[in-house]
Amino acid sequence: MEPRSSEGHVAVLGYKLFYRTVGEPTRGTILGLHGGPGATHDYMHPLTDLARSGYRVVLYDQLGCGRSELPKDITLFTVERAVEDVEEVRQALDLGKINLVGSSWGGMLAIAYALKYQKNLKSIVTIGGLANVPLATAEMQRMKSQLPTDVFEVLKKYEELGDYENPEYQKAVEVFYRRHVCRLEEWPKELLYSFEHLSKPVYHTMNGPNEFSIIGNIRYWDVTNQLHRIRVPTLVTGGRYDEVSPKVARSIHRGIRRSKLAIFAKSSHLPLWEERQKFITVVRDFLDKVN
């Protein structure tokens, strides 16, 4: 029997955000935070596997993303506002203490939330998350320089021109993504949906034109020296080939006392898809000990 699911919109700080919930909170509640910033919740679908283990899994589209309302005021797209949205979603849906699971930018958001609202958390899981954007950017530039010479030269050419939409440039970007975002030969439909419905107002404001050109308002974000303040059980995960490299994951692991670290050997940025069964087992074992 499939776990019970429901969906709808919830009013959050003057805007309607779309959410989906799967399962019953027998063992606890998981709130998932998608990446981007600007993606949709759809690619986080593997987390709903945990509903079969007694967890209520709640996913939502962040402000300006997916099926949620898109404000005209792009100054609302900030880390600080996103943190308040997480808290408002938690309260509005009456979730109680939550296990917060964040992917990529969502992992960064989970860390930012924990630094302000730690008392509302049972645990944190980051998947290719960031605590230091300049470090992550430097690592991505290193990976970019290791691409085939012809690909690297195409990227360099169009970046110097500022022509990020050029089809030749986009083709070269995909080479990077196939190495460091998702290494599956065929990308899952949920992942394709999240990419195809990326909110450009959010992504360009906060991140930039692509994954490795972070020139938006998060570009200097670095809370490495505050990580010691996080005291809730934390699992830091990532992939061996992750665009947010294992070096970044290890820096978070070192900063959060007693945190656990899991690097998936066959994965890049999305071990929840690339090694789905193993990933879910690792996360479930961690959550079961916490809950």
Structure tokens at 274: 């690339």
SS3 258: coil
**Amino acid at site 68:** S
**Amino acid at site 48:** T
Half-sphere exposure of 41 (CA within 13 A, CB side): 22
Phi/psi region, residue 258 (left: phi>0; alpha: psi -120 to 50; beta: rest), is: left
* Catalytic residue (choose from 103, 104, 123, 199): 104
Count other Cβ atoms within 10 Å, centred on residue 227: 21
288 is catalytic: no
45 is catalytic: no
CB of 176 within 8 A of CB of 47? no
> How far apart, in Å, are the Cα atoms of 80 and each of 49, 107, 115, 151, 266?
30, 14, 11, 37, 34
* Catalytic residue (choose from 49, 242, 259, 268): 242
Half-sphere exposure of 42 (CA within 13 A, CB side): 19
104 is catalytic: yes
Cis peptide before 188 (omega within 30 of 0): no
What span, in angstroms and rounded, lies between the C-alpha atoms of 29 and 25? 5
Residue positions annotated with a catalytic role: 104, 242, 269
